Copies of this chain bind each other. A is one copy, B any other.
């Protein structure tokens, strides 16, 4: 079987874990990595996540498949720098917001591009955070797939199926709204919980009492500020809407406690219980 040349731009949790996942499939890959962070390059080589490090985008451009696991701003900037791409080349970006990316890709390479969002991650980052089952049994959203070439559509579908992901197809605009509710707003909330507790007098003794609930609610407050600054910027209007919807629910709770409307509060919590009929 021929070896597929893969270029991974961004050697962090997502890119590193993809490399491990690809190596578990039956295909053969030669992986070239690129990252502006020299330490990440060295670590990725040391961990065997890449076969070689490339210094230039020009070298990566000759790969069969190029994966962009960098922040959204970087994806948009990089998409404008590709020159003389092979028409069969498939570029897949893993950005967390999709509409701006989908609309920013230069026309000449729009068919080369597949814009995807694997709905997975951990709060950790960097190549050392890479794990073998990050993608297994998780959902990947493929956005505006009709804008990609037929060859590129097939390459992307095969790649995500091979690493055992569930494929979901959606318009980029719809994806961004959904992602604001299911991921971006909860991150803002988790950061706010962490900061609210840290501001309290005796925060160390407060945190000493933390049980599983608090640990869950504050885990994603560990996430990378650079990555999340970028996401909040790219998806501003949806994020604002999702935070407002959340705040209006929390205000209801606050008012019911304030006014001691316990029966009403009980029903409101029962409604929330129902989420788990569709989630679990």
Q: Which A residues between 226 and 241 are near B, CB-CB below 8 angstroms?
A: 226, 228-229, 232-233, 236, 239-240
* Complex CA–CA separation, A220 to B215 (angstroms): 11
Q: Given that A189-B189, A249-B192 are contacting pairs, would A260 and B233 also be in contact in the complex, using a CB cutoff of 8 Å?
A: yes
Q: Is the CB of B232 within 8 A of A120?
A: no
Contact B182 A250, beta carbon cutoff 8 Å: no
Q: How big is chain A's contact interface, by range?
A: 35 or more
In the complex, which of the residues B214, B252, B272, B279 contacts A215, with contact meaning CB atoms closer than 8 Å?
A: B279
Residues of B within 8 A of A243 (CB): 250, 253-254, 257
- In whole Å, how far is A171's beta carbon from the nearest beta carbon of chain B? 12
State A228–B185 Cα separation when bound (angstroms).
Answer: 24
Contact assessment for A257 and B279 in the assembled complex, using a CB-CB cutoff below 8 Å: no
Q: Check B178–A186 contact: CB distance below 8 A.
A: no
Q: List 15 A-B contacts (CB under 8 A).
A: A141-B209, A182-B197, A183-B214, A189-B217, A191-B249, A191-B253, A191-B268, A192-B253, A194-B272, A221-B269, A221-B276, A225-B273, A228-B269, A236-B260, A247-B254
Instruction: Say yes or no for A36: interface residue by CB 8 A criterion.
Output: no
